[in-house]
């Protein structure tokens, strides 16, 4: 199946939606907006993964399998240990394919705001000190830079494995908004 764009109609109302994109692209925000439009639950996958002190939660995979067994949900497509399972269950993948420059602006701004405000994230975690951008290879800002191209590879591989899966590719925030208020909204009334 070819990739759908921001104006292409959806063949059916989706029930199990994954949102793909590099870190900082806006996956969680878009997933929440999709869930609200479809009146489905949004499961923020980072909240399931991160335990105190940024350690992975032991129940992560079981928690993902539990919620994904439900008939309807929206979540982000990340974490290699569950990515294939989620893709198998999904009936729609929304690929937020923003340019690297846009993603970097977003992830840097988000990181700065979270750190300066000491915003509490999942399970009491806060962003690490800003200087760790330069010392930690897996700091979210560096991670977004180095993994930006990987989503395209994953989506292409998924399309080979599941050629019938509906995949919507959105290349800007404007396209995302257009899609939310256009094809996605129309799918809820069909």
Average pLDDT, integer, range 73-101: 97
Single pTM value for the model: 0.93
Residue 135 has pLDDT above 70, yes or no: yes
Residue 58 has pLDDT above 60, yes or no: yes
Average pLDDT, integer, range 23-52: 96
The set of residues, in sequence order, having a beta carbon less than 8 Å from that of 149 and lying 6+ positions away, is none
DSSP-derived 3-state class of residue 161: helix
Tokens of 121: 């994230």
Nearest to 93 by CA among 185, 25, 3, 183: 3
Looking at the chain, how many residues does it have? 190
First to last CA, the chain: 21
Mean pLDDT, the chain, whole residue set: 94
Q: Which residues pair with 119 in a beta bridge?
A: none
Average pLDDT, integer, range 165-184: 96
Domains defined along the chain, listed by start: 16-189 (3.40.50.300)
Taking the C-alpha atoms of residue 128 and residue 132, their distance in angstroms, rounded to an integer, is 7
Under 8 Å between Cβ of 19 and 83? no
Residue 1 has pLDDT above 90, yes or no: no
DSSP-derived 3-state class of residue 20: strand
Taking the C-alpha atoms of residue 15 and residue 166, their distance in angstroms, rounded to an integer, is 12
pLDDT confidence tier of residue 189, bands split at 50, 70 and 90: confident
Under 8 Å between Cβ of 94 and 18? yes
Taking the C-alpha atoms of residue 133 and residue 56, their distance in angstroms, rounded to an integer, is 20
């Amino acid at each position: 199946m070819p990739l759908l764009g921001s104006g292409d109609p959806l063949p059916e109302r989706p029930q199990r939606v994954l949102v793909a994109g590099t870190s900082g692209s806006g996956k969680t925000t878009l997933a929440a907006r999709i869930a609200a439009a479809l009146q489905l639950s949004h499961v923020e996958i980072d909240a399931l993964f991160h335990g105190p002190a940024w350690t992975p939660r032991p129940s992560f995979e079981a928690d993902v399998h539990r919620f994904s067994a439900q008939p309807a949900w929206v979540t982000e497509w990340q974490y290699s240990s569950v990515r294939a399972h989620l893709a198998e269950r999904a009936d729609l993948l929304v690929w937020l394919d923003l340019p690297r420059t846009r993603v970097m602006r977003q992830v840097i701004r988000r990181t700065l705001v979270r750190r300066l405000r000491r915003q509490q994230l999942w399970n009491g975690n806060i962003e690490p000190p800003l200087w760790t951008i330069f010392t930690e290879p897996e700091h979210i800002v560096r991670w977004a830079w180095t993994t930006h191209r990987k989503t395209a590879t994953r989506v292409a591989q998924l399309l080979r494995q599941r050629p019938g899966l509906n995949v919507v590719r959105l290349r800007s925030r404007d396209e995302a908004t257009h899609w939310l208020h256009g094809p996605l909204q129309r799918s809820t009334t069909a």
